[in-house]
Amino acid sequence: MYTIEQTEFGFKITFAGKMDEQELQEWTDDSRTALQDAPDEFGVLVDMRELNLLSNDEQQVMRAGQQHYQDAGMVRSSVVLDSAILTLQFRRLAKESGIYEWERYLNAGTSDDWHQQAVDWLVDGVDPDYR
């Protein structure tokens, strides 16, 4: 399951459960549509607290979807996770897709104010890694 919401800072994307390649492709297609009206620069908060691990093929589709956001004007993204393994998987994906430089990862299990930290990074560039 996924949702894409437009927000004051750009977009909030939520992923949950087991997402197969077809559903990730639908997300990519829906993202293209949502990005047509995006401002020149924006941030993206990605809530992956309930997402299951992705297979290699699913990771490839996710990487392509991430690239659409970058190409459309994403300047920062905050990724919220609740699993150390998923965090490692997505850090690697970000490095492979070239977005690691402006993407920050927040562990919702160890931070009570993860949402505020995510928004502070997106809006003001306050790096949660150096708080």
pLDDT of res. 116: 95
Is pLDDT above 80 for 90? no
Is pLDDT above 90 for 95? no
Contact 15, 51 (CB under 8 A): yes
pLDDT of res. 4: 98
> Using N-to-C axis directions, what is the helix angle for 84-97 and 56-72, rounded to 10°?
60
Lowest mean per-residue pLDDT among 18-22, 45-49, 104-108? 104-108
105 vs 94 pLDDT, higher one: 105
pLDDT of res. 112: 84
- In CATH terms, the superfamily for domain 2-130 is STAS domain (3.30.750.24)
pLDDT of res. 129: 80
Contact 49, 84 (CB under 8 A): no
pLDDT digits (tens, 9 = 90+) for 8-18: 999 999 999 99
pTM: 0.89
Token reading at 56: 């290699």
Is pLDDT above 80 for 131? no
